[in-house]
Amino acid sequence: MKPINVGLLGIGTVGGGTWTVLSRNAEEIARRAGRPIRITAVADRDVALAQRVTGGAARITADAFELVRDPEIDVVVELIGGYGIAKDLVLTAIENGKHVVTANKALLAVHGKEIFAAAQAKGVTVAFEAAVAGGIPIIKALREGLSANRIEWVAGIINGTTNFILSEMRDKGLPFADVLKQAQALGYAEADPTFDIEGVDAAHKITLMSALAFGIPVQFDKAYVEGITKLEATDIKYAEQLGYRIKLLGIARRRQAGIELRVHPTLIPTKRLIANVEGAMNAVLVQADAVGSTLYYGKGAGAEPTASAVIADLVDITRLATAGAEHRVPHLAFQADQLVDLPILPIEEVQTAYYLRMRVEDKTGVLADITRILADGKISIDAMLQKEPGEGESQTDIILLTHLAIEGQVNAAIARIEGLATVVGKVTRIRLEELN
């Protein structure tokens, strides 16, 4: 059968990996896809790099817009990243009737509504397995593997940089800033790590997964995003003593009133498999009504793991290249006319459990005051850890784990606790999920 001609936008790390894997496994891939898949044109500003990687086996251009209009190209793979030119290129490719494969989570999380609508109107596919959790086929699992289920929630360790930092902080008892420097030296964190450590990257990914899980539009602007920069080694240590690990989780949960969509550091029980995902690895846990819990684990980044996802999408598109649009798997798991606009809940309405750490004067009645405030707010206590004051100290730490509570009520209770004369400074509050 006629080969599928792919136009590649950007031949950096992931683009280079895609070229390498498609070349190395060409025969194996054609045996699966039913026809050869070949990159026939590459657009990159660094023409010399593109020449070097492709060794003259593809047409090279510095003009990406020319490529996405090329009538010889069947599918465009966008690996440029960012919201700027990448958006114009993807929309132009769609307008020219090309299927699009992209690893660009930022673009889809922010501009997905517009892009998916354009693809729908044009009858082409926008596939994005590579945008979430690298080579782990989690998009396919949510979109197809779990299609029988009403999905209840998705919780994922979906940013390798922050998971590496948290693993190191726990292992070595070091503060955030030191481990970040080390992660940068090792190449696990970028020179400007803001998107990773502030949780933005994870929020892009959980936003995409929320659309697939619940059949809602992509709406990054309503996600609650909190990174790991303020996390203290002390809390990692106390959590450990209570049987928990702290992970940066992306969480999307269906509630009666709407959808919770949030990224923040989270205590999870050490006995859960996902709590033991260490280093730069990724894992996504999905709770669904028929199948129960399923977990998907693997490398969340890197040239070849990401290329694995890009090429899986190319194989899917190749199998369907000439079938009518109605036979395709919908981009967002649900048919385009079947999305529903469930509200995304503000963070104050989120319901979760909490870890609260406070510094108190070691006096009788302190604990009674604190527990009364919590009881007034209908917040019940699941576990408590009270340390003896250090030699010659008059203050000590109290750590409380609560049962499920509404965030707004917890915040109100914290304000009252901080007002007590016997409580020193601020209360540290970290969310906790049992994930069962």
Q: Give catalytic residues, as residue numbers.
A: 205
**Nearest-approach distance from CB 166 to a copy of itself, in angstroms:** 17
DSSP letter at 344 equals B
**Nearest-approach distance from CB 118 to a copy of itself, in angstroms:** 20
Residues in Cβ contact with 407 at an 8 Å cutoff, skipping those fewer than 6 apart: 347, 348, 349, 350, 351, 352
**Nearest-approach distance from CB 328 to a copy of itself, in angstroms:** 7
* Residue 241: CB atoms within 10 Å: 10
* Residue 186: CB atoms within 10 Å: 11
User: CA dist 17 to 8, 155, 293, Å?
Assistant: 12, 28, 32
**Residues at the site binding a copy of itself, with contacts judged by CB under 8 A:** 1, 17, 21-22, 24-25, 28-29, 31-34, 129, 134-137, 140-141, 144-150, 215, 273, 276-277, 288-299, 302, 304-305, 307-312, 314-316, 319-320, 322-324, 326-330, 333-335, 338
Phi-psi label, residue 138: left if phi above 0, alpha if psi -120 to 50, beta otherwise:
alpha
**Nearest-approach distance from CB 297 to a copy of itself, in angstroms:** 4
Nearer to a copy of itself, 3 or 298 (CB): 298
* Residue 409: CB atoms within 10 Å: 16
Nearer to a copy of itself, 176 or 334 (CB): 334
Separation of alpha carbons 4 and 115, rounded Å:
23
The answer to whether the CB of 316 falls within 8 A of the CB of 127 is yes
Separation of alpha carbons 151 and 273, rounded Å:
20
Nearer to a copy of itself, 201 or 316 (CB): 316
DSSP letter at 339 equals -
CA angle 234–238–241, rounded 5-degree value: 145
**Nearest-approach distance from CB 29 to a copy of itself, in angstroms:** 6
Nearer to a copy of itself, 93 or 146 (CB): 146
Nearer to a copy of itself, 70 or 313 (CB): 313
